[in-house]
Amino acid sequence: MADNRNLTIGDIAEELGVSKTTVSRAISGKGRIGNKTREKVLQYIEAHDYRPNVIAKGLAQSRTYNIGLVLPGDYHIVELPFFQKCMLGISRTASEKDYDVLISVVTPDDISKLQRVIVNHKVDGVILTRTLVEDAPARYLKETGIPFVTIGSMQDDSIVQIDNDHRSACRELTENMLKKGVNRIALIGGRQDYIVTGNRLSGFLDAFAGKGRAVCEEDIYLDVEDARQVEEIVTKLLANGTECIIAMDDHLCGCVLNTLQQRRVKVPEQIKIASFYDSSFLENRSPSVTSIRFDVEELGEMTCKILLDMIDGGEVPARTLLGYRVSMRDSTEGYV
């Protein structure tokens, strides 16, 4: 008998006196085979710690045992911790199912790397890590028919989506500020072509509507991407008597805090600050920043699990929303 480390389906078939096809069916769980025979094969496999060769297994099942992970090529450096944690959750879940992760980088104007992976049949399914209002990668994958899921919400309900509940989270944080007696709240957000920007804005507006309060349109700034823009906006808000600034993400929040520090404006004594996203970039800020915490590794794990279920032909939910935690910290203290 061959060494257990080099054991093959042929060795198992010879030892048990059955055909290679019977052994393959017992391993895959597919095809007609008696229960006693299947049990005999599986017991032998377990006793000899046999693991089928992934390449051979893939050929037998017409699979690559790879999943594609699509990353945006235009990400900001402060987004890196999000993608790292997300990839960790995805890789851990994929590895448990003998899958490897193949990364493709795309931009809104160039999805050629993703197209090459699909055309060359290198993956069994794909995860998109960012969703856009006009989403070329999602549109292309839908046309190909390959199983794919998105991390983030989509306007197309036929696409399987896994996301954190950004709208509810942002509504809750804003409601907390209104309950504290803060009357003039400004919002600074990023690109409107990101779906998450719209969801966070909706949560902000929901909080005001729930309190029967009107939002001043002059206090909402979107498509803000750099420190220079933030500096100009903060200058206007300070002149207008704004009591609290909420940033949609930690990058913008950091820019706001830097501007206030340069101008020697005290937080929270002179103005309150909060962020709709919490990451390691805000951890060492003083005062500590009120923000929303999402479990990004869990998001990656759940996304990968759902994709693998799709690849196996299983029924999966059209939309999955994961939880959050609103953390009220020192940057918004001072109101009763």
Report pTM: 0.79
Task: Answer yes or no: are the C-beta atoms of 40 and 76 closer than 8 Å.
Answer: no
- Reported as a single tens digit per residue, the pLDDT across 253-267 is 999 999 999 999 999
Res 6: pLDDT = 63
Q: Judge whether 291 and 275 are in contact, CB under 8 Å.
A: yes
58-101 per-position pLDDT tens digit: 444 568 899 999 999 877 766 778 899 999 999 999 999 989 99
pLDDT of 173-196, one tens digit each? 999 999 999 989 999 999 999 999
- Position 1 scores a pLDDT of 47
pLDDT band at 166 (very low <50, low <70, confident <90, very high): very high
Q: Residue 160: CA atoms inside 13 Å, Cβ hemisphere, count?
A: 23
Mean pLDDT of the chain: 89
Task: Decide if 292 contacts 277 (C-beta within 8 A).
Answer: yes
Cα atoms in the 13 Å half-sphere on the side-chain side of 162 = 24
Taken in order of first residue, the domains within the chain and their CATH numbers are 4-61 (1.10.260.40), 66-164+296-325 (3.40.50.2300), 166-293+326-332 (3.40.50.2300)
Say what the alpha-carbon torsion angle 296, 301, 306, 311 is, to the nearest 10 degrees.
130
The CA-CA-CA angle for residues 59, 61, 67, to 5°, reads 85
Residues 299 and 86 sit within 8 Å (Cβ to Cβ): yes
pLDDT of residue 34: 83
